[in-house]
Copies of this chain bind each other. A is one copy, B any other.
């Protein structure tokens, strides 16, 4: 089991330059002091070719994140520029944890749901071995189908915690013999307390989740 750091860039951007400085300080500190922590810029970017390259440079080079989340709507030439970076990972939205996932992602395209078409199509893209996928913990009933399409891909699974995803089910249906899962709780941890003890309470919540995962892995 390893630990990952997945800041949502929105929370830094909302504070403008100070926010950006804070993000830079945090990632630099982590990369220096905890080089083994896998870092994910949860930015959900995606734009046409040359612009995606600029985003990739921002997160992979300037901020030196290990990975970044991207949106698939604009297709191949909006994602491949991210995949071109060696030793970096691109985590694409497939089936997200929110209610709005049912607006388009689970709708059928030629008798196949959009998220499945997204998964299948992306496997054909250049350097697709650098791709991982976002699959929400609140959608465990879909995991089996998803694993049929991408048995060897890492899945980033948000939605455990505040959004109510079930850790046990996520592990049961999401783990594969070949590859693990990146399970993510954000609000459940960072909003554990709004008092001065927020850091302690957040650490406690994170440890709680870690212990739960450890137990499931043992069983």
Bitwise interface map of A from 1 to 35 toward B, beta carbon under 8 Å scored 1, else 0: 00000001011011111011100100000000000
- Using A11-B54, A17-B17, A107-B114 as known contacts, list a sample of 20 further A-B pairs with CB atoms less than 8 Å apart, ordered by residue number in A: A8-B47, A8-B54, A10-B51, A13-B58, A14-B55, A16-B24, A17-B20, A44-B47, A48-B100, A72-B103, A73-B96, A73-B104, A74-B96, A75-B103, A75-B105, A77-B98, A77-B100, A78-B98, A107-B109, A109-B114
* SS class, residues of chain A in contact with chain B: helix
Q: Cβ of A16: which chain B residues have Cβ within 8 Å of it?
A: 20, 24, 58, 62-63
Q: Does A99 contact B (CB under 8 A)?
A: yes
A residues with a Cβ closer than 8 A to B are 8, 10-11, 13-17, 19-21, 24, 42, 44-52, 54-55, 57-58, 62-63, 71-79, 93, 96-105, 107-110, 114, 117-118, 121, 187
Query: Which residue in chain B gives the minimum CB-CB distance to A136?
Result: B48
Task: Tell me, in angstroms, the Cα distance from A67 to B107 when the chains sit together.
Answer: 29
Task: Tell me, in angstroms, the Cα distance from A44 to B57 when the chains sit together.
Answer: 17
Query: Which residue in chain B gives the minimum CB-CB distance to A13?
Result: B58
Task: Tell me, in angstroms, the Cα distance from A77 to B14 when the chains sit together.
Answer: 19
Contact of A71 (CB < 8 Å), options: B63, B71, B103, B107: B71
Task: Tell me, in angstroms, the Cα distance from A75 to B114 when the chains sit together.
Answer: 13
B98 touches A10 (CB 8 A): no
Q: Cβ of A17: which chain B residues have Cβ within 8 Å of it?
A: 17, 20-21, 24
Q: Cβ of A102: which chain B residues have Cβ within 8 Å of it?
A: 75
A58 touches B109 (CB 8 A): no
B104 touches A77 (CB 8 A): no
Task: Tell me, in angstroms, the Cα distance from A49 to B54 when the chains sit together.
Answer: 26
A55 touches B98 (CB 8 A): no
| Known contacts A77-B100, A78-B98, A110-B108: A14-B71 contact under CB 8 Å | no
A191 to chain B, nearest CB (A): 10
| Known contacts A62-B15, A76-B103: A47-B108 contact under CB 8 Å | no
Task: Tell me, in angstroms, the Cα distance from A118 to B103 when the chains sit together.
Answer: 8
